Amino acid sequence: MRRKLVAGNWKMNGSLEALAEVDGIAAAAKGANCDVALALPATLLLSAVERVGGSSVAIGAQDVHPAEKGAHTGCISAVMLKDAGASFTLVGHSERRADQGETDADVRAKAEAARRHGLAVILCVGETLAERDAGRAEAVVTGQLEGSLPEGAAAEWLSIAYEPVWAIGTGRTPTVADVAAMHGAIRAKLRELVGTEAEAMRLLYGGSVTGENAAELLDAGDVDGALVGGASLTAVKFVPIIEAPARLPVS
């Protein structure tokens, strides 16, 4: 039985003042029927870790550099993230693949660097609208997965987040059947790549997840959690998503 994971991604948003929202999120996480995580800007990591203390909220980063140190101006290594108190990082988010031109090989190297220094990883994959309309969605996503999957991939430290690029911040959400079908394809590809370890690996869905649609999405086949963007910025919007797993039927 895979425990649900609800993770928030603040992207390039937030300030020290905004961390007050974490108090309400941490309170909801204490009694939640799921794991809760927040991927925050690097500027907020240390303060957020100090603020949540020993709460049930995992604090992590949104990206990591594959090198441990060196002449990489503006970049942050896994060693630095760990030093700031982060317990995980995102890699391969569609916005980084598109805006920074990250390749599957880049994403894999980042995931492996994070693992070397004890960070858990949420690896993101997803197709564009043009790729979906061309009937290539499954091939694109499973291809990204195969190309980005780090060496030694294991459920203990790795989760996969499926984020259709066209559903992020647009208000357009795939049908539950679409999500279940893609997660099924991801699970099948993982079985090819890592064998029985695939059964324990959590697959998250990201793309306009809200308190209103979270329970239905989380109840879909092979959906083990959510990666939430804008709705994770405030407790009033994020807490209903955290509470959604408690509303699911007991299997």
Give residue 251's pLDDT: 60
Question: Is residue 208 very low, low, confident or very high in pLDDT (cuts 50, 70, 90)?
Answer: confident
Percentage of residues of the chain with pLDDT beyond 70: 99
pLDDT band at residue 190 under the 50/70/90 scheme: very high
Q: Is residue 157 helix, strand or coil?
A: coil
Please give the positions annotated as active site. 93, 163
DSSP per residue, 79-140? HHHHHTT--EEEE--HHHHHHS---HHHHHHHHHHHHHTT-EEEEEE---HHHHHTT-HHHH
Q: Model confidence over 105-158: pLDDT tens digits?
A: 999 999 999 999 999 999 999 999 999 999 999 999 999 999 999 999 999 999
pTM greater than 0.95: yes
Which residue segments constitute the domains of the chain, with CATH numbers given?
A: 5-247 (3.20.20.70)
How far is 39 from 61, CA to CA, in rounded Å? 5
Q: Cα-flanking dihedrals φ and ψ of residue 149, to 5°?
A: -65, 125
CA torsion angle 48 52 57 61 (round to 10): 20
How does residue 55 score in pLDDT terms, banded at 50, 70 and 90?
confident
How far is Cα 162 from Cα 127, in angstroms, rounded to an integer? Answer: 9
Q: How far apart are CA 118 and CA 17, in angstroms?
A: 29
What is the C-alpha R_g of the chain? 17
Dihedral angle computed from the Cα positions of residues 137, 143, 146 and 149, in that order, rounded to the nearest 10 degrees: -70
